[in-house]
Each structure stands twice: as C-alpha cells, then as structure tokens.
Amino acid sequence: MTTMTKSREELDLMERARRVLPAGGFGNFATDIIIAEGRAGRVRDISGNEYVDFLLGSGPMFIGHAHPEVTEAVLAQVPRGTTFFANNEAGIRLAEVICDAVPCADQVRFVSSGSEADMYAMRLARAHRGRDKILKFEGGYHGMSDHALMSLAPKRLANFPRPVPDSAGIPKHVQDDVLVAPFNDIETARRMIAEYADDLGGVIVEPFQRLIPPRPGFLEALREETARHGIPLIFDEVVTGFRFAFGGAQEHYGVTPDLCTMGKIIGGGFPLAAIAGSKEIMAHFDRDAVGDEGFTFQVGTLSGNPVAAVAGLATLEVLARPGAYEAVYDTGRAIMTALKEQFARVGVPAQVVGQPTLFDVVFTDTPVEDYRGVLRGDAARLKRFNTVLRERGVLKPDSKFYISLAHDATDVQQTIEAITEAADVLASET
C-alpha cells in the first residue's frame, strides 16, 4: 500500500485557498489536493506524492501531460504573440483539420469553453429554426448556461418533460423553454419530438451521456425524427470529440447531427472549444449571409487563440497517427476488465459502465442505461472506492476514468493492483 502524506507546504496552501476562494477551490475537483506538475500519464502534488492520473484535467490531456510536441509548438508560438482578437494561421489550420475529420462539420466557430460552445449551439439552432424550446435528456451535461443547467443532476425527480433547475439564480421562465426526456428511451423521444415539433428550436444530446452508451437505434431514432420535422439535432461532443475516434462519437456511432460542439482535446490543454455544423446553419454567424433578423451575434476575446490552436493542432497530429486509438482502447479495456473481475471475485455488486476511453464502476446489481440507473448506485461506496485508489497512488474524478494515450504498462499495472486492493477493502467493509 502506498502512503500519501501531506507536507506543511501543501497544508498551508490549502489554508490560504480557503481564505481567498469560495469553498477553498476553483469549483472543479476536490480541494484536498494541490497539483504541482504533470508528465505523461501521471501527476505529482505539492507534497511530492505521485499518482497515475485518470483525471487528465477533466479530459483534455488525451495524449498526456506536457507532451513534447505540444510543448514545442506552444514555446514556438508564445514569442510570436499570445492573442490577437483577429484571424491567425494556426486557428484557420485547426478549423481545416476539424472540418476534414468531423462528419457534420462544414464550418467551425471557435470559443473558449465547452459551456460557451453549447450555449451558442442552442442559440444557433433556435435562430435557424425560429422556435424557442430546446429538448434535452435527463442527466445530460451541456455546460453552465441557464438552459443547460436543467435536470443535469436533479435531486428531485420530476415527471417528463418538466425540467428541474440545477442551480440557484436561474430565472424561472427558463423552465418554460426546456423540455426533458429520458435518455435511451426511443419511444418517448419520438413521441416528445413529434408532440412538440412546432415549438422546438433544437434537440441537444450527449451521444454518449456522461458514462452511458446509447442503446442500439437510439441516436438513429433521434436523427430520423428530428430530420422528419426539420429540427436541428445537436451532438454535445465536448467530451467525446476526438476521444472515441478521430471524427468523434458521430463517426464512432455512424450518426451525423446538424451541429456539434467540441472542447477539451481540441485545445491540447488550453482554453479552446468550438461549434461546428452544416454551412446552412452556421451561416447564422454571418450577418451578410442572413441579414440582421437571422444574425446570431458571437464574439470572444480569446476565441481562436493562437497558443491554444497550435496546442490543439499538435495534439490532433499525434492522434492521427496509425495505432493511436488502438493503444488507448487497449489500455481502457485492461482496466475495465480488472474492475469487472475484481468486484465479481469479492461479490460486490458492480456494473462497469462506459467504453474503453471513458468509463467507471457503478455499485449496483442492475443495468445502468440512464440517469436514474446511475442514481440507484451506491454513491457512498463509490466515494470510498475513489479514496482507496488515491491512497494507493491512483487519481480519478468522482465518477469516471479518463484514459490517455500516455498511460503505459506500468501505469496500468499499478492501477490494476490498486483496484484489486480496493475490491478487498470494500468487500471487508460490507
């Protein structure tokens, strides 16, 4: 068992953070760890403890921390300027790579965060359709805008299609413009789209919702029904873009939306995200093409930032090489197999949910196919599992493993050993 200790320096920094940061943190990961550096598939905290890293900055570091080719590209760009608020060559080249790779992408508009990308994608769909309502799926995460923060993680389960706000401060009228459906329920989705077709500006979905794969035919049904009624279908690929395949989840599942959003990987660890879609819909970002009435206003100080763009280009160049995705999938399969085998060995009910680049264990004996299935899992046991892993030098988010190209055989072996020990611990505490 690895012993993780806290240095006086890290404890002091945690205390300083509590004085100047609400809840002592940035609003992201747990505040009881302060990361000092990351290299390849590992990170080290201020106290000098090293961890196999499955947090990966919440996913962007898909080819690993401080990748030498990304670092080289960034160091070459910084002396030439860090932002211009104008077109730059790197941003144009990155847009070309995205348009070549992603099935739905005729054109791209850059922003700085996934939240922005999802917000603008919904606005763009409403502008194109001339309708106000958005249909989303319970448990789906689409950023931090008012419309997105509806039924992401409701503590009170409402009857569909009524949404439940996830945050204080959201105007009550927003609820009237969001409809919520159960993920993976084909018949309900078809019925709701048809019933509200005259009011819908768009349908937004994570093609792979948090951890949950789509049932066979689910995405196809959404594509068919939205196309039937002329409603824009938006795939939120902030997480899955360039993670499931070079063309994202839409390539992986063979279903092409009208619009998609991307983030995380395309910025190579820097703030960059994008909306991409058909030329017809993306034209709403061009006043000359659609006139004042159809124009969707969008501007951002750091949109298309050249440092982020060169980092993204370098990252995608690595991923385009033969064998890259096969390697990541092999790593993920090895860890998923260990999770299944070890919890079966000790008799702890567990479902390993996801796919090899993104997955976790849900402590339940019933299949997990939607948000309510995740809720049935034992959250306290998952929290304990994560704690035991961290004590053994494996760092992961609260509810997923992000796998990277940089995770090597040593990382996998340490992780499997930690999972084996964690299974024994959880079984002994049952």
Residues labelled as active-site residues: 141, 236, 264
Structure token digits, residue 43: 């990170």
**Amino acid, res. 260:** C
The H or E element spanning position 86 is: none
Structure-derived torsion over alpha carbons of residues 139, 188, 237, 298, reported in degrees to the nearest 10: -90
Question: ∠ CA 11-61-304 to the nearest 5 degrees?
Answer: 110
- Rounded distance, CA 1 to CA 4, Å? 10
| β strands within 141-291, DSSP E | 178-181, 200-205, 233-237, 259-262, 273-277
Q: Is the previous residue joined to 161 through a cis bond, with omega within 30 degrees of 0? A: yes
Structure token digits, residue 206: 């994570």
* Nearest in space to 97 (alpha carbons), one of 270, 292, 241, 298: 241
Listed in sequence order, the residues at least 6 apart from 262 whose beta carbon sits closer than 8 Å to its beta carbon are: 98, 102, 117, 237, 238, 241, 242, 248, 273, 274, 276
* Region label for 210, one of left (φ > 0), alpha (ψ between -120 and 50) or beta (otherwise): left
Over its C-alpha atoms, the chain yields an Rg (Å, rounded) of 22
The H or E element spanning position 79 is: none
- Rounded distance, CA 284 to CA 128, Å? 7
Residue 283 C-alpha from the chain's centroid: 26
* Nearest in space to 354 (alpha carbons), one of 216, 183, 212, 205: 212
